[in-house]
């Protein structure tokens, strides 16, 4: 049996919540999107074995921005029961405090599971497919 509309919308909401967490640097919201042991691979950033490791890496890096804005679209969600995969496009605008804005585009890929807290990410990858502008080095 495939996922129903209610589950598909809940997974879309989860992905939108994650994008919102990055834009607002709301790390509690970010934590609520992930299982604690979720594995993440991010092009140009690295690989992380836990949500806390991901946040520890992102939190200080994102403070250089006046604004971040992630647009997510083209959701493809497949699953059955309490497991699913999701893939979507993203465009991510970055406005540094002391530099020129730049933009990335690519895909988010997720393994999603339903547990006692609802749908959450078990694994996550960000694949950058294109960029515009010159990213400011962070590190």
Return the structure tokens found at 106: 């690519």
3-class secondary structure for 115-136? ECCEEEEEEEEEEEEEEECCCC
| The residue count for the chain | 139
What pLDDT score does 115 carry?
93
Q: Looking at 11-101, which runs of residues are DSSP E strands? A: 34-42, 46-48, 65-80, 83-96
What pLDDT score does 139 carry?
57
Positions in the chain whose pLDDT score sits under 70: 1, 136-139
Query: How far is CA 31 from each of CA 3, 56, 134, rounded to the nearest angstrom?
Result: 24, 12, 30
What pLDDT score does 29 carry?
98
What pLDDT score does 1 carry?
61
Closest CA to 9 of 121, 113, 119: 119
How far apart are alpha carbons 61 and 42 in whole angstroms?
14
What pLDDT score does 136 carry?
62
Return the structure tokens found at 120: 């959450």
Residue 39: other Cβ atoms inside 10 A: 19
What pLDDT score does 70 carry?
97
What pLDDT score does 79 carry?
97
């Amino acid at each position: 049996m495939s996922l129903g509309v209610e589950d598909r919308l809940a997974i879309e909401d989860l992905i939108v919540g994650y994008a919102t967490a990055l834009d607002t640097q709301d790390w509690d919201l970010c934590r609520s999107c992930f299982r604690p042991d979720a594995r993440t691979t991010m092009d140009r950033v690295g690989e992380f074995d836990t949500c806390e490791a991901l946040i520890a890496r992102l939190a200080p890096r994102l403070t250089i921005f006046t604004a971040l804005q992630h647009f997510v679209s083209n959701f493809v969600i497949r699953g059955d029961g309490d497991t699913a995969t999701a893939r979507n496009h993203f465009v991510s605008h970055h406005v540094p405090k002391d530099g020129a804005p730049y933009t990335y585009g690519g895909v988010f890929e997720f393994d999603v599971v339903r547990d006692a807290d609802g749908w959450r990410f078990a694994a996550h990858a960000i694949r950058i497919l294109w960029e515009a502008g010159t990213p400011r080095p962070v590190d």
